Amino acid sequence: KLPAMKMLLLLIALLSAALLASTAPPTCYSRVLSLSKEITESFKELQTSKTVDSCVQTLPRLYLDIHNYCVLAKLRDFVAYPGCDRVAEVNELKEKARSLYTILISYCRRDLVFLTDDCNALEIPISPPIEHS
């Protein structure tokens, strides 16, 4: 009877830990990281979409690395870019970029550490390694 009770308590402890882990509020870093990935992916999709206005090709590149100090200038430039205001997807992307910028300079200012200030690194995204099978 004692081993069954230990197993039950262990199961309850594991379930409680899993429940707490899944309901933990996002940290400033995790929020900024997920939003920057979301913006980068949305920009890639916008660039490859066949149905979007041709002005999208003239937009500044939007590869974001929140560990690079130049990301702040990159976001400012993108939000201030005058073209494509008639394209709803671009306006949505600009709003997300504005939100990320605000979070970076206001809410997370003391929590983030920039590892580099290499602005050229934000112009040419690093491709993920190709897996050979």
Tens digits of per-residue pLDDT, 46-92? 888 877 778 888 888 888 888 888 999 999 999 999 878 888 889 99
Q: Measured between alpha carbons, how far is 34 from 99 in angstroms, rounded to an integer?
A: 12
| Of residues 120, 22, 3, 111, the one with CA closest to residue 71 | 120
Distances (CA, A) of 29 to 54, 62, 106: 35, 19, 13
Q: Measured between alpha carbons, how far is 3 from 12 in angstroms, rounded to an integer?
A: 14
Q: How confident is the model at residue 21, as a pLDDT?
A: 54
pTM of this prediction? 0.70
Q: How confident is the model at residue 124, as a pLDDT?
A: 67
Lowest mean pLDDT among 80-84, 97-101, 108-112: 108-112
Q: How far is CA 122 from the centre of its chain?
A: 14
Exposed, middle or buried: residue 61 (CB in 10 Å: 0-12, 13-18, 19+)?
Answer: middle
